[in-house]
Structure 1
Amino acid sequence: MESKIEKAVDAFIEGFNCAQAIFSTYGTELGIDRDTALKISSGFGGGIARMQETCGALTGAYMVVGLKYGKTLADDKVSHEKTYKIINEITSGFKEWNKTTLCKELLGHDLNTDEGRLFIQENGLFNTVCIKCIRDAARLVEEF
């Protein structure tokens, strides 16, 4: 039986972005259908709409945490604090393993330039860096 970590990697290899790979894999366990999960997370790849800010695998993990623990009542401070605590712990673990949470620093090249995209593709960084980030984010989701 395929692990959820490998299922997330497979979703990325299939052509979904890093955020979609995480959120669609784990969101379905929490009551959201795969198509809806893919739609919600579609803008978060490439460090949020290819802006290369926070890694999409991490934002996908954050969405999973929010779906599981997020507050639904305005005055629910317990759920709010639990969500933030887990997201901070996931972020710390990811930083420990990868030294940064920023997509641009993880890839080391600009996705928004022809030269940067070409370098990333020619050097297989989507298949090395991004897949490692997806595995790391998935491991952290499973841990928490």
Structure 2
Amino acid sequence: MEKERSVEAVETFNKKFNCAQSVLSVFSTELNISKSDCFRIATPFGSGVAFRQEMCGAVTGALMAIGLKYGMDENDSTEQKSYTYDLTTHFISEFRKKHGSICCKDLLDGIDMSTPEGYAKVRELNIFRTHCAEYVRSAVLIGEKILLRK
């Protein structure tokens, strides 16, 4: 039996991969891209972009997947870009409705993990497991509704 994507994403996150890598990689088959390429592409986006704690990495991972599937390329009209923006807006709205924000720092209870003290606090409170794993799971579940449309 095939493993549920959200479970696979959380397992990937609980290994050595960041939130963005974990979300993007579970859609690799549908996007015709290797998991390895997904891991490389998404590496900079974890922890709200390299510990900047801006947009949640789980959100950026899902948005990269949306872009890879629906984004505009050189042969598409601008309507394709508008369509992709609409899907992006929908994803963000759903994630924000569920979690209150798409900002990594907000989602981590305001802790600044760009400092050694903040990062230590996040680890001490086990926030990667208690908070981030849920954001990864949610991003995949919301993303599936968009990416797996027929």
TM-score with structure 1 setting the length = 0.96
- Deviation, structure 1 residue 119: 1.2
The letter of the residue matching 1:115 is E
Alignment of 1:103-122 (within 5 A): 103-108=104-109, 109-122=111-124
Provide the C-alpha distance between the structure 1 equivalents of 2:144 and 2:66, rounded to a whole number of angstroms.
10
Q: Secondary structure of 2:27's partner?
A: helix
> Contact between 1:50 and 1:111, CA under 8 Å: does it hold in 2?
yes
- Deviation, structure 1 residue 42: 0.4
Q: Greater CA deviation, 111-120 or 94-103?
A: 111-120
Q: Greater CA deviation, 105-114 or 42-51?
A: 105-114
The letter of the residue matching 2:118 is G
Structure-1 residue corresponding to 2:17 = 16
Alignment of 1:1-144 (within 5 A): 1=1, 2-73=3-74, 76-108=77-109, 109-144=111-146
TM-score with structure 2 setting the length = 0.92
Aligned residues: CA RMSD: 1.1
How far does the alpha carbon of each residue in 1:60-119 deviate from its partner, in whole angstroms, 9 at most, with x for none? Answer: 000000010011126612211111001100000111111111001111211111221111
In structure 1, list runs of 5 or more residues that go unmatched: none
Structure 1 residue runs of 4+, over 3 Å off? none
Provide the C-alpha distance between the structure 1 equivalents of 2:126 and 2:142, rounded to a whole number of angstroms.
24
Q: How many pairs are equivalent?
A: 144
